[in-house]
Amino acid sequence: MGFEETELRLGLPGNGGGGGNGSEVEVVRKRGFCETENVDLKLNLSSKEVTAGADATHDKAKSLINKEKSLLPSDPAKPPAKAQVVGWPPVRSFRKNMLAVQKNSSESSNQTDQKGINGNAVLVKVSMDGAPYLRKVDLSMYKSYQQLSDALAKMFSSFTIGSCGTQGMKDFMNESKMMDLLSGSDYVRTYEDKDGDWMLVGDVPWEMFVESCKRLRIMKGKEAVGLAPRAMEKCKNRS
Amino acid sequence: MNYFPDEVLEQVFDFVTSHRDRNSLSLVCKSWYKLERFSRLKVFIGNCYAISPERTIDRFPGLKSLTLKGKPHFADFNLVPYDWGGYVYPWIQALARNRIGLEELRLKRMVVSDESLELLSRAFENFKSLVLDNCEGFTTGGLAAIAANCRSLRELDLQENEIDDGQWLSCFPESCTSLVSLNFACLKGEINLASLERLVARSPNLKLLRVSRAVPLDTLHNILSRAPQLVDLGIGSYVQDPDSEAFNKLKATILKCKSVKSLSGFLDVAPQCLEAIYPICSNLTSLNLSYAPGIHGLELIKLLRHCTKLQRLWVLDCIGDKGLEVVASTCKELQELRVFPSDLNGVGHAAVTEEGLVAISIGCPKLHSLLYFCQQMTNAALITVAKNCPNFIRFRLCILNPTKPDHVTAQPLDEGFGAVVHACKKLRRLSLSGLLTDRVFLYIGMYAEQLEMLSIAFAGDSDKGMLYVLNGCKKLRKLEIRDCPFGNMALLEDVGKYETMRSLWMSSCEVTLGGCKTIAKKKPMLNVEIINENDQDFCLDDEQRVEKMYLYRTLVGRRDDAPDCVWTLDAS
């Protein structure tokens, strides 16, 4: 029995799976093999003609059966475009469909991974000393501390003296002034982390920050003095 | 012959429950036949077209439980037209008409319409249990009827069905408190969570609950709080923030579920939450993670290390050989293992190989059922496995490239499978793959004495292969063959053999229309069906090769519900 006789060319996807296992070149040895690929089911759902001589019950049974047939989905699962062998590997369509759905949903959620758990936005409260009310910012919108900084500046520069009328609001007159203030030593950006500790913004990698930040507070320099060294210490202990 | 009065014999017969034993009882003598038929409660029909509903009811008027199977097994793999048949309506209609006290209906690969379910729900007062495995044709409308009308419903098990979704859970009336088992894991749509929670709260006997993906962890927590007596739990969505209070509550609640022996689902999963499950893992005897692609190798391993009492494990091949080694060292009681492929279209990342299987065989000597999808195999590995596990009852190996030889020696896998059939004297079911010649069939014919079901694909060289099997396997009941070079010579050698079997499927083989006609003429007790789905008209030339043939023994002749693409050949 020569090897030729056992050759079977199937043209399977990915050239034989495991790859590199010698020649996977095989011959289609039967007529009609190609014809079985991508079987096009001709769906003929028109009710059968009841032949003469059938009695009433027979008719009824047939019409009920035809009714049942019409309930069947008219678009049965077609073999996937890639596969060239119908029905291989022998896995139930239900299982195949389920896995495909799960794969799709996990792929789309992977793309939003930076957004935190379940692809949701990471909304945290931002308070700035002297501002009349708090704001909320979505950390997942930014990719770096700089971007966050710019956004905060824009956000708090929208406060005007006219609308709030308190002394402290003078500081919030314009964006560039805000930037100066924020980047100067007068204001310190801090955040509360998962453990409830107040930390200095900027010490840890951005992604880690997004994950652990619970709320932001932009403190006035004087109040931050006591905080900063402690925050530094904690970071040092962590790393 | 009757030394005992009928009443005594009946009592004795009560202890005989397996349908095969009951069948044997009925063959002893006429009076035993008569006694047996009136006292049979559970009827199993492996091919719904082998007998008619009327004749079934006539013989077993006292039946309470009916099991029916419809489409051929290869329908699972899209080889059978969707409208082939297997309709349950005529059965339900006949049972209702004859006022049978039906309590349980178990269907596999049948077409079930909403109308059938509605009739079922109204016609049988004591109806208790509905199990639908791999069925289709119904919607949640039908389920709603079951929920609303079956007053003493105990079990509703929807196993791997394709269903259109809608509201049905809320249709269980407030008065329904009898549920023991509810499985709706396969549903894809939204679930009325409040209804579900209320239903669980009023079902004190609930032992099995498998929910669908739409049921989130919060609901799961509420359910578990009310039903810590659950024995079988199927989790839907297992996603939560592990730092949240809700998760802590869940952990505490899970700890109370000491009765859970079977766990499945995890249809969506946040792996960092899996630690909540660890405390109950050591009680588990059954674990099905084959629908949880979100659990990757390492997490899977961590989980499995806790599962020391596991008897049944279903996983995806992302467990890897390493994972299987962990299973081998942890799960000493393992009896059944199924490893499914996670990547059906791609080249594959050599997820599991023969090494994993060998490791399992070394560590788990009690293994008797195997379904293993892998990238590669060797004869040496199979020989080792056979030696280590001589107790196999079911051995199904699927090499993803179906004609791949031994990847080390480049030889066919004949010797490996030969070793399996030789060593495993109790083998009842076998599925082959890989490069195989006629030789493997010679071994099967010689040694597989208990073999009842054989699945062959892309194997063999000549008619001899099929002949070895038909001649040798005396207990063969189901034979299914695809893409093999077997033709009329093998098919027609002993047509009487097919009357001793339930069915024979052959597709993409060498049998011709003439060959099939011959069988149909010689054996009127067989239905020989030709399935022709091609565009061109099927020419009536006897020399033409038949694409798909399905033949089965029957007492009731040709069926009248076959679609146009299915021809039953004439018996005369």
pLDDT in tens, A83-134: 458 889 999 988 988 888 887 776 665 544 433 433 456 778 888 887 877 8
Distance CA A215, CA A134 (A): 11
Nearest to A8 by CA among A24, A28, A32, A23: A28
CB pairs A-B closer than 8 Å: 193
Bond prior to A89 in cis (omega within 30° of 0): yes
Provide, rounded to the nearest whole percent, the portion of chain B with pLDDT above 90. Answer: 87
Q: B383 — phi, psi (to 5°)?
A: -65, -40
Q: Return the pLDDT at B358.
A: 98
Decide: residue B374, CB within 10 A, 0-12 exposed, 13-18 middle, 19+ buried. Answer: buried
With a cut of 80, say whether residue B318 has pLDDT above it. yes
Distance CA B155, CA B442 (A): 45
CB B295 within 8 A of CB B269: yes
**Number of residues that make up chain A:** 239
Nearest to B448 by CA among B470, B464, B480, B481: B470
- Angle, alpha carbons B243-B254-B247 (nearest 5°): 15
Nearest to A231 by CA among A191, A195, A199: A199
Strand partners, B129: B104, B155
Write the ipTM. 0.90
CB B430 within 8 A of CB B448: yes
pTM for the whole thing? 0.75
CB B130 within 8 A of CB B152: no
Q: Which chain B residues are closer than 8 Å to A98 by Cβ?
A: 267, 291
pLDDT band at B405 (very low <50, low <70, confident <90, very high): very high
Any residues with CB less than 8 A from the CB of A119 and at least 6 apart, and which? Answer: A109, A112, A113
Mean per-residue pLDDT over chain B, rounded: 94
Q: Which chain B residues are closer than 8 Å to A96 by Cβ?
A: 344
Q: Return the pLDDT at A129.
A: 82
Q: Which chain B residues are closer than 8 Å to A35 by Cβ?
A: 534, 547
Are the beta carbons of A69 and B461 separated by less than 8 Å? Answer: no
Q: Return the pLDDT at A31.
A: 43
Distance CA B233, CA B210 (A): 6
Q: Return the pLDDT at B350.
A: 58
Q: Which chain A residues are closer than 8 Å to B485 by Cβ?
A: 29-30
Least CA distance to B375: which residue of chain A?
A18
With a cut of 80, say whether residue B215 has pLDDT above it. yes
**pLDDT-wise least confident of A108-122, A217-231, B178-192, B231-245:** A108-122
Q: Return the pLDDT at A146.
A: 84
SS3 B115: helix
- Tell me which range, A97-111, A183-197, B320-334, is most confidently predicted by mean pLDDT: B320-334
Q: Which chain B residues are closer than 8 Å to A93 by Cβ?
A: 76-78, 162
CB B63 within 8 A of CB B102: yes
Q: Which residues of A197-210 are buried (b: 16+ CB within 10 A; e: fewer)?
A: ebbbbebbebeebb
Any residues with CB less than 8 A from the CB of A3 and at least 6 apart, and which? Answer: none
Q: B79 to chain A nearest CA, in Å?
A: 6
**pLDDT-wise least confident of A45-59, B349-363, B471-485:** A45-59
How far from A185 is each of A149, A175, B42, B191, B509, CA to CA, in Å? 14, 17, 85, 55, 84
Q: Return the pLDDT at A15.
A: 40
- Please state, as a whole number, how many other Cβ atoms lie within 10 Å of the Cβ of residue A15: 13
Q: Return the pLDDT at A75.
A: 40
Q: Return the pLDDT at A36.
A: 44
Over residues B531-547, mean pLDDT = 80
Are the beta carbons of B344 and A62 separated by less than 8 Å? Answer: no
Any residues with CB less than 8 A from the CB of B18 and at least 6 apart, and which? Answer: none
Task: Select the more confidently predicted residue: B544 or B538.
Answer: B544
Mutation site for A-interface testing, chosen from B73, B74, B82 by largest number of A Cβ within 10 Å = B82
Q: A92 to chain B nearest CA, in Å?
A: 5
Which one of B161, B373, B545 has the shortest CB-CB distance to A31?
B545
How far from B321 is each of A17, B316, B328, B390, B403, CA to CA, in Å? 17, 12, 10, 22, 22
Which one of A62, A77, A89 has the shortest CB-CB distance to B344?
A89
**Which two three-digit tokens encode residue B243?**
């730092």
Are the beta carbons of B482 and A102 separated by less than 8 Å? Answer: no
Are the beta carbons of B77 and A26 separated by less than 8 Å? Answer: no
Q: A89 to chain B nearest CA, in Å?
A: 6
Distance CA B248, CA B239 (A): 13
Are the beta carbons of A5 and B461 separated by less than 8 Å? Answer: yes
Residues 172-231 of A with CB under 8 A from B: 194
**pLDDT-wise least confident of A55-59, B207-211, B439-443:** A55-59
Least CA distance to A88: which residue of chain B?
B77
Nearest to A213 by CA among A142, A141, A124: A124
Least CA distance to B77: which residue of chain A?
A87
Q: Which chain A residues are closer than 8 Å to B142 by Cβ?
A: none
With a cut of 50, say whether residue A20 has pLDDT above it. no
How far the first Cα of chain B sits from its last, in Å, is: 42
Residue with tokens 């993906």, as numbered in its chain: B213
With a cut of 50, say whether residue B259 has pLDDT above it. yes
pLDDT band at B478 (very low <50, low <70, confident <90, very high): very high
Are the beta carbons of B114 and A93 separated by less than 8 Å? Answer: no
**CB distance from A60 to chain B under 8 Å?**
no
Distance CA A39, CA A79 (A): 8
Are the beta carbons of A10 and B458 separated by less than 8 Å? Answer: yes
pLDDT per position as a tens digit, A132-180: 778 888 887 787 888 888 888 777 776 543 333 344 444 444 555 655 5
Q: Which chain B residues are closer than 8 Å to A19 by Cβ?
A: 347
Q: Return the pLDDT at A183.
A: 55
- Please state, as a whole number, how many other Cβ atoms lie within 10 Å of the Cβ of residue B97: 13
Where are the alpha helices (H) located in chain A, listed in sequence order?
33-36, 56-71, 93-111, 145-156, 161-164, 175-183, 206-212, 221-238
Over residues B273-289, mean pLDDT = 95
Q: Which chain A residues are closer than 8 Å to B82 by Cβ?
A: 41, 72-73, 76
Mean per-residue pLDDT over chain A, rounded: 61
Q: Return the pLDDT at A232.
A: 44
Which one of A6, A65, A86 has the shortest CB-CB distance to B412?
A6
Q: B194 to chain A nearest CA, in Å?
A: 23
Distance CA B523, CA B330 (A): 53
With a cut of 80, say whether residue A202 has pLDDT above it. yes
Over residues B421-445, mean pLDDT = 98
pLDDT band at A68 (very low <50, low <70, confident <90, very high): low
Q: Return the pLDDT at A28.
A: 37
How far the first Cα of chain A sits from its last, in Å, is: 69
Are the beta carbons of B533 and A42 separated by less than 8 Å? Answer: yes
Task: Select the more confidently predicted residue: B242 or B27.
Answer: B27
- Please state, as a whole number, how many other Cβ atoms lie within 10 Å of the Cβ of residue B46: 15
Over residues B219-234, mean pLDDT = 95
**Which two three-digit tokens encode residue A106?**
């996990």
Mutation site for B-interface testing, chosen from A1, A4, A5, A6 by largest number of B Cβ within 10 Å = A6
With a cut of 50, say whether residue A18 has pLDDT above it. no
Task: Select the more confidently predicted residue: A122 or A1.
Answer: A122
Q: A59 to chain B nearest CA, in Å?
A: 11
Q: Amino acid identity of B145?
A: A
Q: Return the pLDDT at A157.
A: 72
**Which two three-digit tokens encode residue B527?**
């239905």
Decide: residue B140, CB within 10 A, 0-12 exposed, 13-18 middle, 19+ buried. Answer: buried
**Which two three-digit tokens encode residue B92?**
């339900």
Q: A145 to chain B nearest CA, in Å?
A: 25
Over residues B529-551, mean pLDDT = 84
Residues 90-119 of A with CB under 8 A from B: 90-99, 101-103, 105-106, 117-118
Strand partners, B184: none
**Which two three-digit tokens encode residue A1?**
């029995």
Which one of A6, A39, A69 has the shortest CB-CB distance to B533?
A39
Are the beta carbons of A89 and B162 separated by less than 8 Å? Answer: no
CB B357 within 8 A of CB B374: yes
Q: Which chain B residues are closer than 8 Å to A123 by Cβ?
A: none
Residues 30-59 of A with CB under 8 A from B: 30-33, 35-36, 39-45, 48, 58
Are the beta carbons of A10 and B403 separated by less than 8 Å? Answer: yes
**Which two three-digit tokens encode residue B62?**
């006292």
**pLDDT-wise least confident of A47-61, B98-112, B206-220, B265-279:** A47-61
Are the beta carbons of B83 and A61 separated by less than 8 Å? Answer: no
Are the beta carbons of A1 and B74 separated by less than 8 Å? Answer: no
